[in-house]
Amino acid sequence: MALSNLQIKKKQMIFTRDEIIEKAKEWHEESKTIVFTNGCFDLLHQGHIDLLNKAGTFGDILIVGLNSDRSVKKLKGENRPIEPEIIRAQTLDSQNNVSGVCIFDDETPHSLILDLHPKILVKGGDYHPNEVVGGSEVIQWGGRVEIVSLTPGFSTTEMVQKIRREGLV
């Protein structure tokens, strides 16, 4: 007999800030290498998946900091995000290599990075290592910043513009 989807779904790993900080302490005590990446992850696409897959190879635990709806609006404009934060968090959580998702409301994840103390900080290829928020602190405590090449042809902003331009909705 086949297992139902409900039976094979992994335990949800969407954490509050306090919960993810406590969980990170446990992972540190277990000598796990914590990797952190962050973003809006609006309309999850192949570029996002490639970034998450590559980030997951750098350590034992991959934590994703997710911009809240409020912070996405501030960064991307009033028409964003397309998907609400809980849907974006659940979509990220469904990725096998993601160990935890935490929604943050600040414009940057700087204070969350300081609280989590990851060993590796990962961002996409549109960043330079010295521009990555929290990067200097991660390097100071013996970690590193990894820049992952972007997957050509995938950009949420460009996808949204195309949908609006071509009236696909």
Helix, strand and coil percent figures for the chain, each rounded to 5: 40, 20, 40
What number is the average pLDDT over the span 99-119?
Answer: 97
pTM of the model: 0.87
The predicted structure's pLDDT at residue 11: 56
Q: How far apart are CA 142 and CA 156, in angstroms?
A: 33
Q: Are 107 and 142 in contact (CB under 8 A)?
A: no
What number is the average pLDDT over the span 127-145?
Answer: 95
Domains and CATH numbers, the chain: 10-165 (3.40.50.620)
